[in-house]
Structure 1
Amino acid sequence: MNMKKISDYTEKEFLDFVIGIYADTYSTEKEHMAAVMEFERLSEHPIGSDLLYYPEYGKSGPSAIVHEIKEWRAKNGKPGFKE
């Protein structure tokens, strides 16, 4: 994985990335885990991959995860997605 920042992604591109993790589109467990680690690094969200595996009630699924990250980043003064 390269060292992109979340601001290098459009919201749609990041959603596609999350969908790939959610649907486990990776050919090996190692690739899947690398994508999860990249998700944690990019999102910087305090609960990390728990957003994927242990979401709050009513906040599951790729779109809800991306929305949560977008809101959290805005509330914490972090850069958002590329326009």
Structure 2
Amino acid sequence: MRSIQDMREEDFLEFVRKIYDSGFTTEKQQIAAILEFSRLVEHPSGYDLIYYPEEGKDGPENVVLEVKNWRSANGKPGFKDN
């Protein structure tokens, strides 16, 4: 099972963009991606970061920044280096 430290930040951003754009072929794949996002980020807000973001924190880039900052502040590993 992959973890966030196995992913480059750019790859994770593309994954989040695909969720935002509903870029999966089926609804089942979209739901699986959303659940995978929540598992990977380990953030207490989970997929609410995407669907119910705090004011000014919407959009894929801001979601990735929030995940990155939260993980760092909570002693969790970050993204894989390029």
Give TM class, smaller chain: over 0.9
Shift of 1:82: 0.4
Runs (4+) of structure 1 exceeding 6 A deviation are none
The residue identity in structure 2 corresponding to 1:50 is D
SS of structure 1 residue aligned to 2:78: coil
Matched, 1:57 2:26: no
Give the corresponding residue for 2:24: 26
Residue matched to 2:5 = 7
CA distance in 2, matches of 1:7, 1:25: 24
CA separation in 2, counterparts of 1:27 and 1:82?
A: 28
Q: Percent identity?
A: 56
Letter in 2 for 1:6: I
Q: TM-score, structure 2 length as denominator? A: 0.97
Alignment RMSD: 0.4
Question: What residue identity is the alignment partner of 2:45?
Answer: I
* TM-score of the two chains, using structure 1 as the length reference: 0.96
Unaligned 5+ runs, structure 1: none
**Alignment-mate amino acid for residue 79 of structure 1:** P
Q: Deviations over 1:13-64 (max 9, x none)?
A: 0000000000000111100000000000000000001000000000000000
**Structure 2: tracts of 5 or more residues without a match:** none
- Give the Å deviation of 1:5: 0.5
